[in-house]
Amino acid sequence: MRKCRKTKAFTALLLIVLGIGILSACCAPGVRKAPNAAQVEDTSAVQEDTSAVQEDKTLKKEDISNENVMIDTVYGDWHVRVDTVDSKTKVKNSDEFVKKLVVTISKGGKVLFDKKVFTREDIWKGADEEFQVYALVSDITNSSVYLPVFICYPETDDGFRFLLALSKDGSSKVYPVPMALDESDMVTDFYVKYIHELQQKPVDKASLLKLARDYGSPAFVEQLTKGGTQIVFPAKVLARKNMKVVPEAELAKGGCLVRFSTSYDNTQPFDSIRVALKEYQVEKFSYDYMIDKVIH
């Protein structure tokens, strides 16, 4: 997994979404880092928690006064709230206490996660004692809520990025997300979320198309509509049971090359596919990119 750092653009996003300016995330280009085998229980590419409420993983009454609301948002029939509370452990070499993420999510009035606690080690078992944990909301579909989680040195630009996916069946999964500080990051994000959606039972086609619209051009959405929602993958990925693979995109001529591996380190990809990108104007002198088509 590539090492992440914070950027001005991400700080601006957090000011809008969270109302705080202590975080932004980016990466040192070309630097890769991954949890080793001893730090990852599930070598099939994700760490999974199938229980929405576990013993000692819900907020205790004495912690309530310590709550700090980080996220409180409504999307369709979802209500998502993420609080942080300080633990009793200090971040090594810092005056800060290690924070815990407290997640409360309901859908259609049904509570799926009731003050569910996620610690730094729940996100990454190998997290350094000098790291702090932060989160925000990036996407919500019919099936899942996606929280990017950053494990960083407090108030610095150095750390790692993960994606916490919380689904309507009450399960949660943690995905490490490599970043390169270029257009390929958007493609990697799309594939991580898209693969998660394909693991839902039943698969919700509308959620897949929502991600396509969020990350792609009308031509890309049309390609999925006509060719089928699995057209974004090469044959060997489609043949893999439960779609448990790790995607990582990097810039290539005319777009990106997306490589697929079976473990976090991405050192031995077993298949790949090319993705064409389209530039679009965000502001007068600002441009961004979207997926335009998958090339087989």
For residue 31, pLDDT beyond 50: no
* Per-residue pLDDT tens digits for 194-221: 999 999 999 999 999 999 999 999 999 9
The structural domains of the chain, ordered by start, are 1-181 (no CATH), 182-296 (3.10.450)
The number of residues in the chain equals 296
When computed from its CA atoms, the radius of gyration of the chain, rounded to whole angstroms, is 19
Question: Which range, of 31-40, 167-176, 231-240, 280-289, averages the lowest pLDDT?
Answer: 31-40
CA distance 191 to 270: 16
State which H helix or E strand residue 186 sits in.
Answer: helix 184-198
Share of the chain above pLDDT 90, in %: 63
Per-residue pLDDT, 294: 98
- At residue 222, what are phi and psi to the nearest 5 degrees? -65, -40
Better pLDDT: 60 or 239? 239
pTM for the model = 0.80
Nearby residues of 178 by Cβ (< 8 Å), 6 or more positions away? 1, 2, 27, 32, 161, 188, 248, 266
Nearby residues of 102 by Cβ (< 8 Å), 6 or more positions away? 59, 63, 67, 82, 83, 84, 85, 115, 116, 117, 118
* Per-residue pLDDT tens digits for 254-263: 899 999 999 8
Give the mean pLDDT of 71-99: 94
